[in-house]
């Protein structure tokens, strides 16, 4: 039984600790899955806080946002309500690699998240700092807060971000405990987790200084305006009102520009002079930080030949003049940060509102988790977000959805959710984490996926809608909208296949696209396979399918244009899926399989997986082990068959 004490205040199915991007998604997902859920956080006001840069999306990450949305999450909806600048990255490289990214108003984002959370009838919020987990024979049964409040739950999701024993560094002399600038660290829970025998490691990450926009010489800097065409991260069909209202207004707040500045020779010189005073280079921090999110010190040390480094000055919101200096993450002393900032053209008189800092924090090597993000050693306990060694709001959100759904499944005896690598970036993310672990804060890139042609931002609903429907994550209204969106794609495809195009009708279109003229009539789908011809234009010229949503037509066109390539990937994906479903007898004598590596034999003998997919998600089991395992099983099957035949004779 749990430790003696006063009675529990409330009984939940799932408790989520933390109100960041992992925690909020976990709570919503658990609630959507049917679990009575509580989200407990140290300060309700900070629910949905963007602690680093005020941007959502980007390459691979933008796809995750859309996947979270397809699974009923809130990140896309909050972003649509808070974006003050939007860009479609890689737009010039074609819709197959489009990557949506939005700068957000921090305050609007936070408020949007909180209201979306509170919209769920099964989801409650509680302010409190969790002091410890209540355990019953190594199984989680609830939590107790520092304030002495106790809550019971069938499963608990821990999403503590950088708060577990967080330590902030500015220069070599300033080091203070804290989970975020101005907020305290969490130590009690960290100690209990460590005492439970979990392996713990340290990572570091950093943020840049922020400045007062009123002290910036705007006329000296280039502006980067928001793209004119607005974009909805959430499938616009989820909304009952049209995206653009009759008066031309969108649901997004008014758009704001970013400014582009450059750190040049003078600034580089200042940093070089003071490099020994940086927390990272001065020896105050030993742990590893991400290579793709380097501090400005790192950039200057590792790439001394670069003439200058680009800085983006990003507005923090409509209600503040503060700006975020993207590109200048640093742990130099505050006075050096200011000196560096003032060396930048346009920032000669700048005021620094907050100094940048590096932060070290605990993470738990994620190879201690199973494929549902459950801690193997503690049934009912799930981890999501930075606690697993990842970085990024989107990575946190994706894990939150998976952990939330699986925590609900654990509490309610439902089916667990394991997304395949071929299904989504979330699948790649979780699979990488639990099978390979991390040696630097983990961020998603398209290069991490073997399926980046078929796993795109435009088709997340197609990929995950069915799974979400099966898990009953959608409301009846959403079910209807999703079905409508997918039906529109099917209709576009059917229309393209059925419609014959006469040469003279498309002659001007083809001439404009520098595409050769048609000799005879062809199907619209045939025409759309051409590199420079868009299906949307073909439809427009033929005046068909004009009622179909533009993004549905784009998805259809991609499927036509790159069908050969997509097919190759899908064949691979099918192979992977079939292999994953290969059943394993839990009684297999792994120790008698000499063709498996020693480590694989030991791990599999302990875990006794039921499918090859489960075996594959075991750290230490290599692809060649899996191949040999299949051969060993086949060998045994044949031996068994011939023994039976021998007996019959």
Partner 1 sequence: MPSLTQIRLARRCRVVDPAGATVDDAVATLYAAPHSYTGEDMLELTVHGGAVAPILVLDTLVAAGARQAEPGEFTRRAVLNGKLDLLQAEAVADVIDARSSAAHRQALRQLGGGLSRQLTDLRGQILQLEALLAYDIDFPEEDDGPISRERVAAATDEVMTTLQRLLSTGRIGELVHDGALVVLAGPPNVGKSSLFNALVGESRAIVTETPGTTRDAIEAVIDRPTFPLRLVDTAGLRQDPDPIERLGIETATRYLERAAIVLACLTGVADECVTATLRDCTDAAIITVGTKADLARAAFDADVHVSALTGTGLSELLALIEARLGERPGLSAPDAPVLTRTRHRVMIEQAVEEMHRFRAAWAVSDLPAPVVASHLHAARGSLEELIGTVQVDDVLDVVFRSFCVGK
Using CB under 8 A as the criterion, which residues of the chain lie in contact with partner 1 when the complex forms?
Answer: 53, 59-60, 89-90, 93-94, 96-97, 99, 290-294, 299, 302-303, 306, 308-310, 312, 326-327, 329, 445-448, 450, 452-453, 531-532, 562, 565, 568-569, 594-598, 623-625
Q: How far apart are CA 48 and CA 46, in angstroms?
A: 6
Q: How far apart are CA 643 and CA 363, in angstroms?
A: 52
Question: Cβ closer to partner 1: 59 or 134?
Answer: 59
Tell me how far, at minimum, the Cβ of 60 lies from partner 1, in Å. 7
Q: How far apart are CA 541 and CA 509, in angstroms?
A: 8
Q: How far apart are CA 571 and CA 96, in angstroms?
A: 19
Orientation angle between helical segments 393-412 and 75-82, nearest 10 degrees = 140
Q: By C-alpha distance, which of 422, 425, 467 is closest to 442?
A: 425
Question: Cβ closer to partner 1: 329 or 372?
Answer: 329
Question: Cβ closer to partner 1: 4 or 564?
Answer: 564
User: Where do the H-state alpha helices sit in 369-459?
Assistant: 393-412, 425-436
Q: How far apart are CA 128 and CA 146, in angstroms?
A: 7
Question: Cβ closer to partner 1: 115 or 602?
Answer: 602
Tell me how far, at minimum, the Cβ of 255 lies from partner 1, in Å. 18
The β-bridge partners of 459 are none
DSSP assignment of 62-74: HHHHHHHHHTT-S
Question: Cβ closer to partner 1: 199 or 624?
Answer: 624
Q: What 3-state DSSP class applies to 240?
A: coil
Tell me how far, at minimum, the Cβ of 625 lies from partner 1, in Å. 8
Q: What 3-state DSSP class applies to 4?
A: coil
Dihedral-angle region of residue 589 (phi above 0 means left; psi in -120 to 50 means alpha; beta otherwise): beta
Backbone angles phi, psi at 329, to 5 degrees: -60, 130
Tell me how far, at minimum, the Cβ of 367 lies from partner 1, in Å. 15
Tell me how far, at minimum, the Cβ of 631 lies from partner 1, in Å. 12
Question: Cβ closer to partner 1: 494 or 639?
Answer: 639
Question: Cβ closer to partner 1: 53 or 340?
Answer: 53
CB atoms within 10 A of CB 354: 16
Q: What 3-state DSSP class applies to 164?
A: strand
Tell me how far, at minimum, the Cβ of 628 lies from partner 1, in Å. 8
Question: Cβ closer to partner 1: 310 or 546?
Answer: 310
For residue 505, give every residue at least 6 positions away whose Cβ sits within 8 Å of its Cβ, in sequence order, or none: 541, 542
Tell me how far, at minimum, the Cβ of 509 lies from partner 1, in Å. 16
The β-bridge partners of 140 are 135
Question: Cβ closer to partner 1: 52 or 71?
Answer: 52
Q: How far is CA 566 from the centre of its chain?
A: 23
Tell me how far, at minimum, the Cβ of 148 lies from partner 1, in Å. 43
Q: How far is CA 550 from the centre of its chain?
A: 26
CA dihedral 521, 524, 527, 533 (to 10 degrees): 130
Q: How far apart are CA 203 and CA 386, in angstroms?
A: 10
Question: Cβ closer to partner 1: 182 or 623?
Answer: 623
Asked whether the CA dihedral 589, 592, 597, 598 is positive or negative, the reply is positive
Tell me how far, at minimum, the Cβ of 458 lies from partner 1, in Å. 13
Q: What is the 3-state secondary structure (H, E, C) of 284-298?
A: CCCCECCCCCCCHHH
Tell me how far, at minimum, the Cβ of 97 lies from partner 1, in Å. 5
Tell me how far, at minimum, the Cβ of 425 lies from partner 1, in Å. 12
Question: Cβ closer to partner 1: 236 or 330?
Answer: 330
Q: How far apart are CA 199 and CA 366, in angstroms?
A: 9
**108-131 core/surface letters (b: 16 or more CB in 10 A; e: else):** bbbbbbbebbeeeebbbbbbbbbb
Question: Cβ closer to partner 1: 301 or 541?
Answer: 301
The β-bridge partners of 139 are 136
Burial class (CB in 10 A: 0-12, 13-18, 19+), 440: middle
Q: What 3-state DSSP class applies to 378?
A: coil
Question: Cβ closer to partner 1: 229 or 349?
Answer: 229
Token pair of 216 as six digits: 């910036």
Question: Cβ closer to partner 1: 313 or 419?
Answer: 313
Tell me how far, at minimum, the Cβ of 576 lies from partner 1, in Å. 14
Tell me how far, at minimum, the Cβ of 204 lies from partner 1, in Å. 14
Q: What 3-state DSSP class applies to 601?
A: helix
Tell me how far, at minimum, the Cβ of 170 lies from partner 1, in Å. 20
């Amino acid at each position: 039984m749990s430790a003696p004490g006063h009675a529990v205040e409330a009984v939940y199915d799932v408790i989520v600790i933390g109100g960041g991007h992992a925690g909020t998604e976990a709570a919503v997902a658990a609630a959507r899955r049917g679990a009575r859920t509580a989200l407990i956080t140290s300060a309700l006001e900070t629910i949905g806080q963007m602690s680093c840069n005020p941007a959502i999306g980007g390459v691979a990450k933008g796809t995750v946002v859309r996947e979270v949305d397809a699974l009923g999450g809130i990140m896309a909806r909050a972003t649509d309500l808070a974006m003050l600048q939007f860009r479609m990255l890689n737009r010039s490289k074609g819709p197959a690699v489009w990557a949506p990214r939005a700068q957000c108003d921090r305050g609007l984002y936070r408020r949007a998240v909180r209201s979306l959370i509170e919209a769920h009838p099964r989801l409650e919020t509680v302010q409190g700092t969790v002091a410890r987990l209540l355990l019953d024979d190594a199984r989680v049964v609830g939590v107790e807060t520092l304030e002495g409040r106790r809550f019971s739950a069938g499963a608990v999701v821990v999403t503590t971000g950088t708060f577990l024993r967080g330590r902030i560094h500015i220069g070599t002399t300033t080091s203070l405990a804290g989970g975020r600038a101005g907020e305290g660290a969490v130590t009690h829970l960290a100690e209990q987790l460590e005492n439970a025998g979990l392996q713990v490691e340290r990572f570091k990450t950093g943020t840049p200084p922020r400045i007062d926009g009123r002290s910036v010489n705007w006329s000296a800097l280039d502006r980067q305006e928001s793209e004119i065409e607005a974009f909805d991260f959430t499938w616009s069909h989820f909304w009952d009102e049209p995206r653009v209202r009759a008066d031309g207004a969108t649901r997004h707040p008014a758009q704001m520009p970013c400014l582009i500045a450059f750190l040049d020779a003078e600034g580089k010189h200042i940093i070089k002079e003071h490099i020994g005073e940086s927390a990272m280079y001065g020896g105050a921090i030993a742990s590893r930080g991400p290579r793709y999110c380097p501090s400005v010190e790192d950039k200057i040390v590792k790439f001394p030949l670069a003439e200058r480094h680009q800085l983006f000055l990003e507005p923090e919101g409509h209600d503040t003049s503060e700006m975020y200096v993207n590109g200048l993450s640093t742990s130099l002393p505050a006075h050096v940060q200011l000196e560096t900032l003032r060396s930048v053209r346009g920032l000669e008189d700048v005021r620094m509102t907050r100094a940048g800092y590096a932060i070290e924090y605990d993470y738990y090597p994620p190879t201690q988790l199973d494929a549902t993000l459950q801690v193997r050693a503690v049934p009912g306990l799930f981890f999501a977000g930075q606690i697993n060694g990842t970085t990024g709001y989107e990575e946190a959100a994706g894990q939150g959805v998976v952990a939330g759904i699986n925590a609900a499944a654990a509490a309610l005896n439902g089916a667990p959710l394991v997304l395949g690598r071929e299904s989504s970036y979330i699948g790649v993310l979780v699979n990488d984490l639990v099978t390979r672990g991390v040696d630097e804060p983990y961020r998603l890139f398209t290069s991490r996926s073997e399926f980046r042609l078929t796993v795109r931002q435009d088709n997340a609903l197609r990929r995950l809608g069915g799974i979400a429907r099966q898990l009953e994550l959608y409301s009846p209204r959403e079910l209807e909208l999703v079905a409508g969106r997918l039906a529109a794609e099917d209709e576009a495809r059917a229309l393209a296949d059925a419609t014959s195009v006469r040469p003279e009708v498309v002659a001007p279109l083809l001439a404009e696209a520098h595409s050769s003229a048609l000799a005879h009539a062809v199907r619209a789908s045939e025409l759309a396979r051409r590199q420079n011809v868009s299906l949307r234009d073909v439809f427009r010229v033929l005046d068909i399918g004009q009622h179909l949503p533009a993004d549905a037509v784009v998805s259809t066109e991609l499927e036509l244009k790159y069908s050969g390539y997509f097919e190759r990937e899908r064949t691979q994906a099918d192979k992977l899926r079939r292999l994953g479903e290969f059943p394993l007898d839990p009684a297999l004598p792994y120790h008698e399989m000499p063709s498996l590596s020693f480590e694989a034999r030991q791990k599999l003998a302990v875990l006794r997986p039921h499918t090859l997919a489960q075996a594959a998600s075991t750290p230490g089991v290599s692809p060649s082990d899996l191949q040999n395992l299949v051969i060993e099983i086949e060998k045994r099957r044949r031996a068994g068959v011939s023994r039976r035949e021998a007996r019959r004779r």
